[in-house]
Structure 1
Amino acid sequence: MECHSLSRLIIISNRVSAPTDSNSGAQGGLAVALAAALREYKGMWFGWSGETTDHFTGHINFQRAQGVTTATVDLEEQDIDEYYNGYANRTLWPLFHYRIDLAEYERGFAGGYQRVNDRFADTVRPLIDPDDVVWIQDYHMFPLGSSLRARGCKNRIGFFLHIPWPPRRLLGVLPEAAELVRHLFDYDVIGFHTEEWLESFCDYAIVELGATLDGHTLTLGERVLHVMADPIGIDATEFIEASHSPTARLAFRRMRDSAVGRDMIVGVDRLDYSKGLEERFLGYERFLKTYPEERKEVFLLQIAPPSRGAVESYQKIRAALEGMSGRINGAFADVDWVPIRYVNQGYPRDQLAGIYRAARIGLVTPLRDGMNLVAKEYVAAQDPEDPGVLILSRFAGAATQLQGGAILINPYSAEEISDAIVQALKMPRDERITRWRTMMDNVVNEDVVWWRKRFTQALMGDAKVGE
């Protein structure tokens, strides 16, 4: 049985990205993936509009664009401060990315987080029909399943976590850890990107809560939860097509012309401390110092659109990177060459495809990442006859799938980054092609459609979880 036989698929996430242009630079990988799912299935995408209101009323703004129906609500300023900027991004995000030094714990944050999830439940509950399947996304909404159950929702409800799940002892730092994990047993299916994140979740539930595990089924009292590792992919067909579009070809020519015969290294990351950007700059600086003969043959293009500007730790990393890029350029630049081009803005996906294709090296060095779709986009954009080389952090979720072709590095080691850059620059074309084909097979075969079908079939009970 496919999802078509059901009434609808209801997707709920923190932000809703109404599609106006499939190549919009404002759409991240998850937004593109969810929009693709809703185009195939009848359904609705519910969440926060990104806008504020003086008083929360639960008023829903419905829109339909490119086959996707969206339903959004505005939140009060206090909601945003406590739920989004507070608990989600100053407590959960750093902790789940192993940065306990940056995590902040305030009762007001936790209270606002629960309040907003209850408000979402109050608002979306009347829109859910008895036969609908509900799919909730990410760390902003851990307790939403419980809130819906408390309001009489007996539908199949699934949850997917797009960030890492931390080890048990690390999660224990969170004051509400046990309560948060108990909330998750009100779902029918939970998905993670890797077996590592899945195992960490099960370890906490078993050791701290007394749950039992049988295959891919966790049981806690009367509650039964199916768990699965289901790595997300990109819309490979669409991205390959985008890489051949006029916009992509123009971006490719512009980058090749501006390179003046030099090899380009590209990094594309949201400005976030989990992405390892400072470590990346230090590794590139080590390369410049250690291999002076290679120095003027390459340059690093780092595209880093700002995000979460209201959170202090994000302000600090932006200032740090601006200082580092200025220092490195000041130390190594010449009148006809600048080692780092540092850009604080986003670009449409078709333009990025052309930039990726022009890059000899894709440098993806997160300190910890649930998946990282940039790595897969870089692979998909390459010229099959002359592909570039992917240098990838072993701590990215994507490393599990792409390890056969990428050069895996420890992002904390400037020496490993430096050595990997030299290895990539000197790699023969035959080896580059062999490595690329290995990765491309995975990118194409385990794409976003594969990811979505595995999860929705498990959620409907039509497939053995984990197959």
Structure 2
Amino acid sequence: MPRNKYNRNSAIPTTRLERLLRERELRKFNRIFHPNEEASNGYRETELFEHELSLREGNNWGIPPEEEFLEGAAAARSLNQGCERQDGRPSKQRLLVVANRLPVSAVRRGEDSWSLEISGGGLVTALLGFSAAFYSSNLLIYLYGGVKEFEAKWIGWAGVNVPDKIGQRALTIALAEKRCIPVFLDEEIVHQYYNGYCNNILWPLFHYLGLPQEDRLATTRSFQSQFDAYKKANQMFADVVNKHYEEGDVVWCHDYHLMFLPKCLKEYNYTMKVGWFLHTPFPSSEIHRTLPSRSELLRSVLAADLVGFHTYDYARHFVSACTRILGLEGTPEGVEDQGKLTRVAAFPIGIDSDRFIRALKLPQVQDHIKVLKEMFAGRKVMLGVDRLDMIKGIPQKILAFEKFLEENPNWRDKVVLLQIAVPTRTDVPECMLLY
């Protein structure tokens, strides 16, 4: 009879997973009979615990099975419910979400008056429906059901230039009511960092569009000046995070705008729990190696405890870039550099489906549905919902629809293409060509 590989009664562990499970049992035994040794061995126990969780058959990127994911999420919630602050209220894990833009848009109404509106950006929508396992060196947190499970604060640029102290103070107070913390960037930094390095260099490269030619740029927008502004802006974000960081917080950095942020934060506090998630593709190593300062960017991201991507392919490309460009060792769990392991994993992002289901029940939505059904009665509707972005292929989609109607004239009165396009990156010349 073949031996069960998960049988803890076997005398000699023959697989790595068995060894880790056996070590966990020994740790439990030691905690009961040798409690004084627990503190000194705490770091090693945590490290082994993370390794055993990340090792799963058929899943080399360490994503827990669904039932364990839900079990861990329930455990995390029960732990939160069992903890109380000094004022008697339930305590939650603090989460600092750091992104280039805040989830609200600010409009100045006076010297010390601001109005705020919820932003419709993709990052905000994504976080509402985000579910993933978040690992860090001393903590396992399950981001289950989005950031609503945590006491979250959002740090980012407000999208406006506020040069005066009165305006900055007033905006800070207004944003605090939305649990937001502003990073104040001046116009030149925004021009070089956001419009320059982020949208002129990183974004095209990550979408396989290649780097712009240096001679197309003004002398004040060279690769180096944009890169310097990028590092300076990331340090400004780090300064705001450090100002509001409390021991035990988890810092969750987002997207290609903040690839330097993990390194800046770890230099401030090496024990800080830092994760970084990319909301775009990560290109193959052959494409990434064309980027000036490619090594510096990769090492900055590797300072994080966990690096997340949308898909397995993007995660694989990142590990490949680290091994081929930096010469580091790629493992099933991530990338190892001189004994320090940065976990790399794929965390597909969904949508907040409950929000859409609730919206369908609203009277005004039902009325609009009725109008649309009458408007398109007897015809098939092809619906496209995209940002007005040059990589979304909207002109190609329209041309393809035109070609379909030319080749199939019998469909001309039977089908309609309805394209919804949300304006984006209005400061990027290439995107403005679509408007």
What TM-score comes out, normalization by structure 2 length? 0.67
From the superposition, tell whether residues 285 and 266 of structure 1 become closer, same or farther in structure 2 (CA, over 3 Å).
same
Number of residues of Structure 1 aligned to a counterpart in Structure 2: 314
Question: Separation in 2 of the partners of 1:244 and 1:29?
Answer: 24
**2:76 equivalent to 1:2:** yes
**Aligned equivalent of 1:77:** 187
Question: Separation in 2 of the partners of 1:137 and 1:146?
Answer: 14
Question: Separation in 1 of the partners of 2:189 and 2:359?
Answer: 38
Contact 1:61 / 1:73 at 8 angstroms: preserved in 2? Answer: no
Question: Separation in 2 of the partners of 1:187 and 1:298?
Answer: 50
**Aligned equivalent of 1:159:** 276
**Aligned equivalent of 1:12:** 98
What TM-score comes out, normalization by structure 1 length? 0.63
CA RMSD of aligned residues (A): 2.6
Question: Separation in 1 of the partners of 2:412 and 2:174?
Answer: 52
**2:127 equivalent to 1:34:** yes
Question: Separation in 1 of the partners of 2:386 and 2:213?
Answer: 21
Per the TM alignment, residue 111 of structure 1 is displaced from its structure 2 partner at its CA by 1.1
- What letter is aligned with 1:54? P
- What letter is aligned with 1:266? L
Per the TM alignment, residue 222 of structure 1 is displaced from its structure 2 partner at its CA by 4.0
Question: Separation in 2 of the partners of 1:271 and 1:99?
Answer: 17
Q: 2:285 aligns with which of 168, 183, 188?
A: 168
**2:172 equivalent to 1:61:** yes
Question: Separation in 2 of the partners of 1:269 and 1:19?
Answer: 21
Structure 1 stretch displaced more, 137-146 or 211-220: 211-220
**2:192 equivalent to 1:109:** no
Q: Give secondary structure in 2 for the equivalent of 1:80.
A: helix
Identity of aligned residues (%): 32
**Which consecutive unaligned segments of at least 5 residues does structure 2 have?**
1-74, 84-91, 107-116, 130-145, 215-221
Structure possessing the higher relative contact order (Cα contacts under 8 Å, 6 or more residues apart): 1
**Aligned equivalent of 2:250:** 133
Per the TM alignment, residue 214 of structure 1 is displaced from its structure 2 partner at its CA by 2.3
Question: Separation in 2 of the partners of 1:8 and 1:79?
Answer: 30
- What letter is aligned with 2:256? Y
**2:214 equivalent to 1:97:** no
Q: How does 1:138-149 map to 2 (within 5 A)?
A: 138-149=255-266
Q: Give secondary structure in 2 for the equivalent of 1:61.
A: helix
Largest Rg, 1 or 2: 2
From the superposition, tell whether residues 112 and 204 of structure 1 become closer, same or farther in structure 2 (CA, over 3 Å).
same
**Aligned equivalent of 1:194:** 311
Contact 2:103 / 2:118 at 8 angstroms: preserved in 1? Answer: no
From the superposition, tell whether residues 189 and 310 of structure 1 become closer, same or farther in structure 2 (CA, over 3 Å).
same
Question: Separation in 1 of the partners of 2:328 and 2:227?
Answer: 25
Contact 1:43 / 1:68 at 8 angstroms: preserved in 2? Answer: no
**2:362 equivalent to 1:245:** yes
Q: 1:51 aligns with which of 160, 172, 183?
A: 160
Q: 1:205 aligns with which of 308, 318, 322?
A: 322
From the superposition, tell whether residues 63 and 188 of structure 1 become closer, same or farther in structure 2 (CA, over 3 Å).
farther
**Aligned equivalent of 1:283:** 400
**Aligned equivalent of 1:455:** none
Please list the CA deviations of residues 5-45 of structure 1 after superposition, one character each: whole Å capped at 9, or x if unmatched: 6641111111111499xxx8842342034357343211211
Please list the CA deviations of residues 98-150 of structure 1 after superposition, one character each: whole Å capped at 9, or x if unmatched: 11165876222111111111011112202101111111111110110111122
Q: Give secondary structure in 2 for the equivalent of 1:308.
A: coil
Question: Separation in 2 of the partners of 1:145 and 1:55?
Answer: 29
**Which consecutive unaligned segments of at least 5 residues does structure 1 have?**
319-467
**Aligned equivalent of 2:238:** 121
- What letter is aligned with 2:210? I
